[in-house]
Amino acid sequence: MTRTLSESLPAHGIHADVLCTGLRGAYPAVARPYTVYRCAAGLRFGGNKSLSWDYVRTLARLQSQYDVALVHLPNPLAAAALLACWTKPIVALWHADTPQPAVRAGTAWLDRALIRRVSAVIAPTPVHLHASHHAALLAAKGIVIAFPVDPQRPPS
């Protein structure tokens, strides 16, 4: 979803870059209409969750270049970083609840705090909003916009 949005938004006059964790230099150089800022992940947990001071520092440094943050949730690192240093509007893309009960129990407070802070929450279906552990919070800010799918694009 992040790739599809980042590639399609420029056609609507919106510049969108990507901030993520990952191994620098471990990805092939690809011409893109956006920049990918890859931050070193200091600690990984819960499958695809990570902690990274580099991510927080990079987000704070980049804030002056952007009008809004679009964050894919759940993402404890992004939630903590945005709550710590982002002062501009935030829009959340709600993918699903964290599937691991222990990780969800430990990070749900970050999800709740960020949901309270965001301007809107976009979910691909009503079920994503209403079946969530955070349904009460999501209902007030949630809107449904289906996943953008380009059937012509090969899988990444």
- 97 neighbors 118 (Cβ within 8 angstroms): no
For the stretch 66-122, pLDDT in tens is 999 998 888 888 899 999 999 999 999 888 776 677 777 778 898 889 999 999 998
> Where does residue 43 rank: exposed (0-12), middle (13-18), buried (19+ CB within 10 A)?
exposed
| 113-156 pLDDT tens trace | 999 999 999 888 888 888 777 778 888 898 888 876 666 766 65
Supply 124's token pair: 């691909």
pTM value is: 0.80
3-state SS assignment for residue 122: strand
Nearest to 22 by CA among 47, 40, 42: 40
